[in-house]
Structure 1
Amino acid sequence: CNSVTSVTGKEQEGVKAKTSYTYKRYTESFREWLQLLNYSKSGIDRMPRQLAEFFSWLEKEARLPDGQGVKEISSITRTHTKLFYHHLKYHRKSQNSGEFLKSSTQNSYIHCLKLFAHYLEETGQGKLTIDLPYEPKEVTRREILTLKEIDSLYNATTDDEKGLRERAILSLYYGCGVRSNEGIQMNLEDVMTDKKMVYVRKGKQYKERYVPFVAHQQKDFLLYLKHCRPQLLRNPEEQAFLLGNQGKRIGYGLLLGTLKRLQERTADEKLQAKTIGLHTLRHSIATHLLQTGMKLDSISRFLGHSKLRSTQAYTHLAHEIE
């Protein structure tokens, strides 16, 4: 799911699909499968909607030789999927902007259909051939922070207990390069300060990995665990490593807000002008590791990429910021 560009909820509201019971059953079971494989919340929300739209289009617009709509998976042909692709490219408009769908949005639909076909095969529910081509990606620049800018974020942390959480967040998301949801789902037992390693048990598609960290990250984690987490904790049964202000597992909003506040506190105007998020920290550590000479396959394992080409995207970035 790495290659899919996120689609806004508003853009997806363009079609409120109504489908038959059979298609609804497939849509719901597909959603459950995505949850089981630990796809992101946005993906779990988005892809079933896209699939429901495809099913609705099949019933209303596609036709079998007898003139009836396509209401069974077994009746879907390559011609139907190609016609739907044509519909997305030349007819479907975003309700939000009134414009034709961007190529990234079209690609997310294609990815959804291919993933659904994989789901059918994996669960023994049939076969669906999706041989649609992806649209060329729009050129978008990934924001990468320099080592100096990373230092500026660390230096912007406060001297109180909350500052210890800020440093722990930076050390987890930059130092360990975890994805946003991987850090949120991390438990106390997953951060092994004695071994200088974190265990990512809920990576994409439930792929597990161990990620090493260095001494200063070890120090950040230990100080957070000793002086900050106990102050936040309300329920002694809570197992989450990072806690929010209410003593429960931290949420994405607080994580992003913390990063934005650190960015605003720095005296670096160039850094303040950048649009950054948690994934920026992940992109940055990958680029910095590449600059140190670490091999691509090692960085790929560090990041939890299933395909090496996902990691190769960082090679040109490493040269650009040298």
Structure 2
Amino acid sequence: MSLNATYQSILEEFKQYLQTLGFADSTVYNYQGYLTQFFIYLQQRQISHIGQLNAQYCYDYFEYLQKRPNLRRTHRSLSSSHLNRTFDAIDKLCEFLHHMGNVSAPTPPKYRVNSVKTTQIKVLTKDQVKLLYDAVGHTYGYRRFQIRQPYQAVLLMILNLCYGCGLRRREVERLSLLDIDFDKSVLHIRSSKSYKDRFVPMSTSVRKHLMDFVYNHRRYFHKRPTMLFPFSHGFIANAIHILQEACNDDEIKALHIHPHLLRHSIATHLLQNGMQIEYIRRFLGHSSLDTTQLYTHIANDL
């Protein structure tokens, strides 16, 4: 079934809107594909103009997709990631319609399905995190002291950003020196996973250690001079492995520790400490509260 002229025009304008916002070409292409299927669904139900769209039609489509089999894989349902990407596209469409002055358009539904079972998410205990912090001083023993200190400061920074601030690996790598406000004790995270900026607070200890790195150790590294993190992304995984090996604990050494595990861990620990789930959602930069609520189940199971 082909799209009518109205929906074709909306798709083209939506494409230009995404390009203006700086979305990647692959994302623009995929969003157009998801919305094409959505518009075909609407046409089949005699909804021939975008002005007829309301929230109920969106939710009906969400329910339809969750029951519909994957056409490429017989008898298998659509994956959670595919569903959530479709829901992302429809959220962005609603945002676009309001931007164009269509005040009757539904607000972005922000509906999501959980793509990860809580049993698949592992977290570190607070004692295990402390072991990693304590291990920093036992690393790079083969380097002379003047060089050892800056490298150890990088390891401490990785822990402070991935665990202390709950940042994703890419957010660590993209953090500019100008994005750090020591006066207000916040980090400005730009264009995160949900394409939104957010401000992340730094604890007193994190602020102190980052200031020490910026003013006393950053000058020893000459790559990426305008960025906080001086290395490519491969260094982070290697750095965490170095910390594990420096721990005098066989259980820690056997774990697969990565930046997102540290992020999962701080979210769970904040919940255990009594922080409200909405504050944790903002802290992590989740677009949907459903994603953050996964940690409620994890914390209850510990």
TM-score range, shorter chain: 0.5 to 0.7
More deviation, 151-160/73-82: 73-82
Deviation digits for residues 12-37 of structure 1 (CA, Å, limit 9, x no counterpart): xxxxxxx96763442342354374xx
Q: What residue is the counterpart of 2:122 in the other structure?
A: 143
Q: Within 5 A, what are the aligned runs for 1:266-285?
A: 266=247, 268-285=249-266
Q: Which of residues 227, 234, 241 in structure 1 aligns to 2:228? A: 241
Give the CA deviation at 1:296.
4.7
Distance 1:79 1:293 in 2: 38
**Which residues of structure 1 form unaligned runs of 5+?**
1-18, 36-40, 245-249
Distance 2:95 2:217 in 1: 44
Is 2:11 the counterpart of 1:23?
yes
Distance 1:135 1:206 in 2: 20
Give the CA deviation at 1:290.
3.1
Q: What residue is the counterpart of 2:271 in the other structure?
A: 290
Structure-2 change in CA distance of 1:311 and 1:89 (3 Å): closer
Give the CA deviation at 1:165.
1.1
Distance 2:72 2:241 in 1: 30
- Do the aligned residues in 2 keep the contact of 1:156 with 1:265 (CA within 8 Å)? yes
Distance 2:123 2:39 in 1: 42
Question: TM-score normalised to the size of structure 2?
Answer: 0.67
- Do the aligned residues in 2 keep the contact of 1:145 with 1:284 (CA within 8 Å)? yes
Distance 1:306 1:133 in 2: 10
Q: What residue is the counterpart of 1:320 in the other structure?
A: 301
Distance 1:201 1:111 in 2: 20
Is 2:193 the counterpart of 1:214?
no
Deviation digits for residues 155-211 of structure 1 (CA, Å, limit 9, x no counterpart): 444232333212111112211223444433322244355x58233252655444351
Q: What residue is the counterpart of 1:113 in the other structure?
A: 90
Q: Within 5 A, what are the aligned runs for 1:102-251?
A: 102-124=79-101, 139-141=117-119, 142-157=121-136, 158-159=139-140, 160=148, 161-193=150-182, 195=183, 197-202=185-190, 206-215=196-205, 217-226=206-215, 228-234=217-223, 238-244=225-231, 250-251=232-233
Q: What residue is the counterpart of 2:3 in the other structure?
A: none
Q: Say which structure is richer in helix.
A: 2
1:145 is aligned with what amino acid? Answer: L
- Do the aligned residues in 1 keep the contact of 2:97 with 2:105 (CA within 8 Å)? yes
Say which SS state the counterpart of residue 117 (structure 2) adopts: coil
Deviation digits for residues 59-112 of structure 1 (CA, Å, limit 9, x no counterpart): 6996587xxxx7x756879779957974674343568x9954223432331332
**Which residues of structure 2 form unaligned runs of 5+?**
1-6, 141-147
- Do the aligned residues in 1 keep the contact of 2:175 with 2:228 (CA within 8 Å)? yes
Give the CA deviation at 1:222.
4.0
Aligned residues: 281
Say which SS state the counterpart of residue 200 (structure 1) adopts: strand
Q: Within 5 A, what are the aligned runs for 1:38-53?
A: 45-46=26-27, 48-53=29-34
Distance 1:285 1:90 in 2: 37
Say which SS state the counterpart of residue 118 (structure 2) adopts: coil
1:154 is aligned with what amino acid? Answer: Y
Give the CA deviation at 1:263.
4.1
Q: CA RMSD in A?
A: 4.5
Distance 1:200 1:310 in 2: 22
1:200 is aligned with what amino acid? Answer: H
Question: TM-score normalised to the size of structure 1?
Answer: 0.64
